[in-house]
Amino acid sequence: MTSVQQIVQAAQEQHGWKAEEVRIDEVERLRRGDCAVFTAASNARMSSFQASYALLKGALVTGPKIAATLLSGCGDAPADWQAEIIARFVPGVGGQVLTASSNPGALRRIKSTGKTFSEPSVSGNVVTFYVLEPEAFIISKVVATRDAGDVKVQVTEL
């Protein structure tokens, strides 16, 4: 089974989409060596929902610890890449990872709360970043800790 077929099958099982209605796109900026991230969406539904999937060495990464598997299996990665993986694959995070070149309105909102915006950062096994849930324009600060093969997150809404 090819990589794309693995993702289509997972999308069918998880979301009930028909194979011929599933659109798969690679998120090329997140490719790192043997790691690749993809989005899947249904062409038959009027929805902006996209599911994220990842491949490591050509095999679909599944289970509750996808983020931990990718963070440990994809080599030493920059903070913005790690933040993207956590936002996409850790339940309860989600949203757009904010950077200095992101949504200017979101950056102004962070400043208006008295906080200082900072780019995604890594210190030891801790990744810290801001995310924006664009539909509701909710901004949260995420502190994620890699611990014993898992990723634990603290999400604080501003």
The share of the chain scoring above pLDDT 90, in percent, equals 57
Instruction: Give tens-digit pLDDT for 5-56.
Output: 889 898 889 888 888 889 999 999 999 989 999 999 988 876 667 889 999 9
DSSP assignment string, 13-44: HHH---GGGEEEEE-GGG-BTTEEEEEEEETT
139 pLDDT more than 90:
yes
- Domain endpoint, select from 62, 94, 111: 62
Is residue 93 located within the same domain as residue 144? yes
- CB count within 10 Å of CB 12 equals 15
Cα distance between residue 86 and residue 67, in whole Å: 6
Range of the domain at 88: 74-158
Is residue 38 located within the same domain as residue 95? no
> Quick check: is 32 in a domain?
yes
> Quick check: is 67 in a domain?
no
> Quick check: is 68 in a domain?
no
Instruction: Give tens-digit pLDDT for 59-108.
Output: 999 888 999 999 998 888 999 999 999 999 999 898 999 999 988 899 99
Do 119 and 97 meet the contact criterion of CB atoms below 8 Å apart? no
For position 63, what pLDDT does the model report? 84
pTM of the model: 0.92
Work out the pLDDT band at 144, boundaries 50, 70, 90.
Answer: very high
Is residue 80 located within the same domain as residue 50? no
> Quick check: is 84 in a domain?
yes
For position 110, what pLDDT does the model report? 92
Domain count of the chain? Answer: 2
Is residue 96 located within the same domain as residue 134? yes
Is residue 57 located within the same domain as residue 89? no
Is residue 24 located within the same domain as residue 52? yes
